[in-house]
Amino acid sequence: MAATRLTVLDDGSIRVEGDFEVVDQSGRPFGLAGRRRISICRCGQSARKPFCDSTHKTCGFRSTVVAFDLDPPKDAAAGPPAPDAPTAAPPSPKPGS
């Protein structure tokens, strides 16, 4: 299992457990007071964003999530060349150089 686990809760937050750090856009860390488990807001209504304050329970937020596989990243779709694929030869030196 990974050192950090994120669990997307139905009709609720994203639970983060394990060894992690939460930083703002500038890279400044949030003080987590030693917590190894937090919840991140998904409903957008928390008064303590990015952290969940359970407002999702009273604002009508609904979302059921079932895990699925992502497509490969576009830059990795081609993958590495096959082991027996020919590679381009280095350019020949120019005569007289």
Instruction: Note the pTM of the prediction, 2 decimals.
Output: 0.72
Exposed / middle / buried, residue 76 (Cβ in 10 Å: 0-12, 13-18, 19+): exposed
Residue spans per domain, the chain: 1-67
**Beta-ladder partners of 37:** 17
Would you state the pLDDT for residue 2? 73
> How confident is the model over 76-93, as pLDDT tens digits?
656 666 666 555 555 555
Per the structure block, which two tokens stand in for 17? 């457990």
CA distance 14 to 46: 13
Say if residue 93 is preceded by a cis peptide, omega within 30 of 0.
Answer: no
Reported CATH class of domain 1-67: alpha beta
> How confident is the model over 37-47, as pLDDT tens digits?
999 999 999 99
